[in-house]
Structure 1
């Protein structure tokens, strides 16, 4: 089995040849034991191109022979230990060749790596056919074959290390025993080592993991796949050709034992690293601050009040809570991975006025904010006049109408009244007249309740007009409670009459 490898070499720097990686020797045929008189070609691999010359060193029985060959190949006919060198590279690992004179030899490849198929060949000199072959491993019989002279061990591992030999049977029951051959399966790559950019990262930061291992020069082009795990088999990534994994944001709950695995494409060789403990550090909350929207001194009754709690520092899940200091009342609680949270009071009332604060806790204990004083202002609904609308049986409307009728009756009795059927306009005060003596003229009254089923004699509507003392103008924009200086000077009430007189306006002040 031929094992070839190509290695990259550093580019020359400043016109000088850079030191190359260690070259690797491959054999053709691949056996390290052959019969005397046969030939083996050695190739010094280390570049993507063939060098002009290659230096070879052969050691045998304490003697060392150095040869330079054009190209990268050397034909060998003698036993010995061979190394090669290209340019200023280091010497390759030695290859020991044996040219045997025995009648039966056991042939094995120069190097076998984990996952390879180990091929052993029991060979008779002159390539004479054997009728039966038996393979012995560490004194135990592995197989007996009458058809094949080769022994195949697929996916070899370190469990296949040991001493091998073969026994061949020829016609006329001649039995031959081969030499013993020590075979050691080479490690394709060592157990990977997991490394992290930081073993105690701070919450919210990123962490890079790398699964480090190394292929031998002979197998530097072997593709490997990597995978990362945490704790009891929590898979952090799919299989990837990249030996690195980035965790963009790591949290305290991600603390634990991490490890990685590397394997060949076929999965015949797979190894995992030792665990790496990663302990994520949490930053306690600090700088807790509460504000209101709108600000606490601008809250109007009926509006929405938002209590905003924030922290200057702190990582991870934070529990925010809101409290009212004067009543010791807890208003609400939220847990979220944020440095800011809001609590909304949909409709604010005057009873909500008071002192408020919030607290934040991310497992190190609650930290309180300062106190915010919230004042609630009432809505401004006051007007300069009043419109009193009467409904059937309305006590307030009735009393108000009676008061107004009496006032107007008193005015008309004094001879300052107006004719009932005249079209009137509001009089104005003459020279020397006080404005409070003027009674407003009649205006068209408008119904207040259009959906009330009225009965005869029921109050339909009324209008109250006031006049500000000293101003001389009638006003309907203020209530009597708001303007203590206003006087009622005119009122008229329309009632529901029988069908034959519907629609009439009757002044019932005299009767009243």
Structure 2
């Protein structure tokens, strides 16, 4: 008695594990049931016939390791067999357990003594072929056979006594009965059989990592479904949709989809679909609303490259407008403060944009500012002052010797002839055509004394006097 109680408790424990360990469509599927197959494939046969049960399992690590196959029959003591086949002749409920698998679902067999029986398969999943067979005991043959479904006649033929549904659906579940007509007009009826078509996989459920994601962030979608433990190898394809059936993914064996960056215009109703690889069974999830959140722009800043007080005439000025916060498509605009003139505009998904002024001139000096707007209102930066300066001299000065006359009353302080020396290395390109025609180099002496002239420019007290400058065209 104690042994039987322990065995029944073990069966209940396995049954509780079935709920917790049901395989899913992803990589978590790891726990499987044993499966019984029936041959001949009917749960109702005539008394005196034999039925062979075959137990199949999907091996995984189990707490209980069986040496053989365990069989359960009602309240009888379980028994083990070295092989996976058991021959039965008695009505009852049978289950099996293969090594490394959970116990199977029960099979209820009927060995009938009736004259007419309706034979149905043990287990039918949606998409399977459903065959019902009306059988009469004895030599007298049936003339006509009709089938009823939920008390409605659904078939009647003189050619075949089988009822065939090529691709069963959940809607085909119900009570079936067979009505046979003999040649002498005698009518036989079978008992009603309740046939329940099982789901091949559950209705998918769409899940999202964040239903209100921040714009520009990644979002992961998952289309979860559950396979029966008897059909763990069923292959499915998944596809994802948005709003009115807009497909956002190709059919794939993976139930997951990653959107690398989602934007506000991607807000809407999302749903997913799952289907068998053969395309026979299709199911879709309930819709899921995703509302993408946009962050308004703030902290608008205008910077210049080079800095505003180091801009040289003729060079390129770059105005850089940036925002500290803000997502989505932002419209940047650049302006002069004095004229409010728009210098340019750019719209892009970025927190920074640049405007380039290729050749800067003195007319470009002034104060500048920029604005940014991503749909929540225009935000203006503080103005920056741009000062344009002319660069130092560049290039060599044209040099030539000076010829002067001898000292005289009209030229009492005339120095000796000197050659022009290069004063500056850097001369602006526009000033390369300047020619210095006369240079005096003098050093003041004591009061009342004649000045002493020098030809060297190295003395730090020397003062340079340009007496004439002309342009060589």
TM-score normalised according to structure 2 size:
0.75
1:467 matched to which residue of 2? 438
1:148 CA displacement: 1.4
1:37 matched to which residue of 2? 48
Q: Distance in 2 between matches of 1:85 and 1:363?
A: 65
Give the counterpart of 1:106 among 102, 111, 118.
Answer: 118
Q: Distance in 1 between matches of 2:111 and 2:292?
A: 63
1:309 CA displacement: 1.0
1:22 CA displacement: 3.2
CA contact (8 A) 1:469 1:487 kept: no
Q: Distance in 1 between matches of 2:440 and 2:284?
A: 101
2:339 maps to 1:358: no
Q: Distance in 1 between matches of 2:112 and 2:97?
A: 27
CA contact (8 A) 1:20 1:88 kept: no
CA contact (8 A) 2:440 2:465 kept: no
Q: Structure 1 stretch 267-276 or stretch 278-287: which is displaced more?
A: 278-287
The structure-2 alpha-carbon separation of the partners of 1:128 and 1:381, relative to structure 1 and needing over 3 Å to count, comes to farther
Q: Distance in 1 between matches of 2:303 and 2:50?
A: 91
1:217 CA displacement: 1.3
2:162 matched to which residue of 1? 150
Describe the SS at the equivalent of 1:218: coil
The structure-2 alpha-carbon separation of the partners of 1:128 and 1:113, relative to structure 1 and needing over 3 Å to count, comes to farther
| Aligned residue pairs, count | 403
1:379 CA displacement: 5.8
The structure-2 alpha-carbon separation of the partners of 1:74 and 1:385, relative to structure 1 and needing over 3 Å to count, comes to closer
2:38 maps to 1:27: yes
1:252 matched to which residue of 2? 264
Q: Distance in 2 between matches of 1:384 and 1:145?
A: 115
1:20 CA displacement: 5.9
- 1:195-216 CA distance string (max 9 Å, x none): 1122222222211111101111
Q: Distance in 2 between matches of 1:78 and 1:57?
A: 13
Cα RMSD for the two superposed structures = 3.6
Q: Distance in 2 between matches of 1:322 and 1:190?
A: 57
1:486 matched to which residue of 2? 467
1:68 matched to which residue of 2? 80
Give the counterpart of 1:58 among 53, 73, 77.
Answer: 73
Q: Distance in 1 between matches of 2:261 and 2:331?
A: 20
The 5 Å alignment of 1:389-468 reads: 426=403, 429=406, 434=412, 466-468=437-439
CA contact (8 A) 2:372 2:378 kept: yes
The structure-2 alpha-carbon separation of the partners of 1:75 and 1:486, relative to structure 1 and needing over 3 Å to count, comes to same
Q: Which runs of 5+ in 2 are unaligned?
A: 1-17, 22-29, 419-434, 443-452, 455-463
2:293 matched to which residue of 1? 281
2:165 maps to 1:194: no
Describe the SS at the equivalent of 1:159: helix
TM-score normalised according to structure 1 size:
0.70
CA contact (8 A) 1:291 1:308 kept: yes
The structure-2 alpha-carbon separation of the partners of 1:294 and 1:135, relative to structure 1 and needing over 3 Å to count, comes to same
1:129 CA displacement: 4.5
2:197 matched to which residue of 1? 185
CA contact (8 A) 2:237 2:253 kept: yes
2:94 matched to which residue of 1? 82
1:24 CA displacement: 2.5
2:292 maps to 1:307: no
Give the counterpart of 1:318 among 307, 311, 330.
Answer: 330
1:88 CA displacement: 7.9
CA contact (8 A) 1:436 1:487 kept: no
Q: Distance in 2 between matches of 1:264 and 1:28?
A: 27
CA contact (8 A) 1:355 1:374 kept: yes
Q: Distance in 1 between matches of 2:262 and 2:131?
A: 49
1:236 CA displacement: 1.0
Q: Distance in 1 between matches of 2:195 and 2:106?
A: 16
1:437 CA displacement: 10
Q: Distance in 1 between matches of 2:357 and 2:439?
A: 43
1:328 CA displacement: 3.3
- 1:87-125 CA distance string (max 9 Å, x none): 686543221110011111111111111111211111122
Describe the SS at the equivalent of 1:253: helix
1:176 CA displacement: 2.7
The structure-2 alpha-carbon separation of the partners of 1:34 and 1:136, relative to structure 1 and needing over 3 Å to count, comes to same
Describe the SS at the equivalent of 1:351: helix
Describe the SS at the equivalent of 2:159: coil
CA contact (8 A) 1:436 1:467 kept: no
Describe the SS at the equivalent of 2:315: coil
- 1:433-482 CA distance string (max 9 Å, x none): 54669999xxxxxxxxxxxxxxxxxxxxxxx9833345799xxxxxxxxx
Describe the SS at the equivalent of 1:363: coil
Q: Distance in 2 between matches of 1:487 and 1:30?
A: 122
Q: Distance in 2 between matches of 1:383 and 1:52?
A: 100
1:21 CA displacement: 3.6
CA contact (8 A) 2:275 2:282 kept: yes
